[in-house]
């Protein structure tokens, strides 16, 4: 038996005893080293994001292969887990839009995930990590992969003004990606602690409101990337883009929530709006960037918690100033 944090049903999450999974054909068994608590996990708990009841949550995780099954991945290999398994045969997959797969099976949502001591996982979706990598850092590959997809859409260029809204893990990774592109980068967040962290991880400016932004960039930003997942900031995003600018929405709002936009303004100023979903073809790139330190993730770890604390942490709002809480299922 093992301990695992299971979403029994909406509003009911518990850490329980369950059998250690047996890897099926094509799967490996991973001893989970680290699993990040994502905002999506809280949406799942509240019933604000579609899921399958009774599943073990956790889609941002990494660990050590302890059973190779019938695969070629050697036991003892450290891996990061790309949680999305596309079907490869639907019309979206055949068009290369795999993140829009009609039959996608998402680990931690549709199948058991990484808030557990062990996880059976498709070998084809495991990406190798260096043996000397800090065990906690592997949990950042999945959110970085999602961030890369959104930033690829935005296509920041050297010399452009790029505004990142939201000082969570996605926002602070987006800051680093935009800075590496040569942009002038501003972080917008009300948290003074996150403003400081943003400046320490590459932002040129950090502000707490639109008025302060306008003092620096009166005309707005060439690219606005919304990473907070808040209705007010999604609605604000096109207003903060300069004429001819671009907006990428990376933040996740609850299913059914609506926000006001002014189509005439978007038309008259020719504002491009994009919405970024999941991590198509970016997980391997993200793993390499974490492994070689291209993206700094250590400053983004706010706290580590045990598996016994995971259910309460997911059911509660994040702590003030928290960027990422990491669950360490097997101690550390």
pLDDT tens by residue, 231-242: 999 999 999 999
One domain, residues 152 and 118 = no
Active-site choice (40, 85, 107, 282): 40
- Catalytic choice (5, 43, 80, 201): 43
The yes-or-no verdict on residue 315 having pLDDT over 90 is: yes
CATH of the domain at 264: 3.40.50.720
Residue 190 shares a structural domain with residue 224: yes
pLDDT of residue 118: 98
My answer on whether 226 and 195 are in the same domain is yes
State the pTM of this model: 0.97
Residue 43 annotated among the catalytic residues of the structure:
yes
Q: Check whether residue 8 and residue 87 sit in a common domain.
A: yes
Structural domain boundaries enclosing 162: 147-275
* Cα 304 from Cα 321, distance rounded (Å): 15
What dihedral angle (degrees, nearest 10) is formed by the CA atoms of 256, 228, 62, 317?
A: -80
Q: What is the pLDDT of residues 300-312, one digit of tens each?
A: 999 999 999 999 9
The reply to whether 49 and 95 lie within a common domain is yes
Q: Based on the structure, what is the number of domains in the chain?
A: 2
φ/ψ of 221, rounded to 5, equals -105, 150
The answer to whether position 280 is within a domain reads no
Residue 332 banded pLDDT, cuts 50, 70, 90: low
Percent of the chain with pLDDT over 90: 98
- pLDDT tens column, 115-161: 999 999 999 999 999 999 999 999 999 999 999 999 999 999 999 99
Task: Round to whole Å and give the CA distance between 237 and 260.
Answer: 11
Residue 141 forms part of a structural domain: no
If residue 55 lies in a helix (H) or strand (E), which one and from where to where?
A: strand 55-56
* N-to-C CA span, the chain: 20
In tens, the pLDDT along 218-263 reads 999 999 999 999 999 999 999 999 999 999 999 999 989 999 999 9
Is 189 an active-site residue? no
Backbone torsions φ then ψ of 93, nearest 5 degrees: -60, -40
Strands 126-129 vs 78-81: parallel, antiparallel or unpaired: antiparallel
Where residue 41 sits, what CATH number does that domain have? 3.90.180.10
């Amino acid at each position: 038996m093992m301990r695992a944090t299971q979403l029994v049903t909406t509003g009911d999450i518990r850490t329980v005893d369950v059998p250690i999974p047996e890897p099926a054909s094509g799967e490996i068994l991973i001893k989970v080293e680290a699993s990040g608590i994502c905002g999506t996990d809280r949406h799942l708990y509240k019933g604000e994001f579609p899921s399958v009841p009774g599943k073990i949550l956790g889609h941002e995780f990494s660990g050590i292969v302890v059973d190779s099954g019938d695969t070629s991945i050697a036991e003892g290999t450290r891996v990061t887990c790309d949680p999305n398994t596309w079907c490869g045969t639907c019309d979206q997959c055949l068009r290369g839009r795999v993140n829009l797969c009609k039959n996608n099976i998402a680990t931690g949502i549709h199948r058991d995930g990484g808030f557990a001591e062990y996880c059976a996982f498709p070998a084809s979706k495991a990406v190798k990590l260096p043996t000397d990598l800090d065990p906690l850092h592997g949990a950042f590959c999945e959110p970085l992969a999602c961030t890369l997809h959104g930033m690829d859409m935005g296509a920041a260029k050297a010399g452009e003004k790029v505004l990142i809204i939201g000082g969570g893990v996605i926002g602070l990774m987006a800051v680093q990606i935009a800075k590496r592109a040569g942009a002038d980068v501003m972080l917008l967040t009300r948290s003074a602690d996150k403003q400081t962290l943003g400046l320490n991880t590459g932002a040129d400016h950090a502000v707490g409101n639109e008025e302060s932004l306008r003092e620096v960039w009166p005309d707005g930003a060439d690219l606005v990337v919304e990473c907070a997942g808040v209705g007010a900031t999604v609605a604000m995003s096109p207003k903060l883009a300069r004429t001819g600018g671009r907006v990428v929405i990376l933040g996740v709002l609850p299913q059914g929530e609506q926000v006001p936009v002014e189509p005439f303004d978007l038309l008259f100023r020719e504002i491009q709006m994009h919405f970024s979903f999941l991590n198509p073809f970016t997980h391997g790139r993200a793993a390499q960037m974490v492994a070689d330190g291209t993206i700094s993730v250590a400053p983004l770890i706010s706290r580590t918690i045990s598996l016994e604390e995971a259910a309460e942490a997911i059911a509660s709002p994040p702590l003030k100033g928290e960027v990422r809480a990491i669950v360490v299922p097997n101690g550390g």
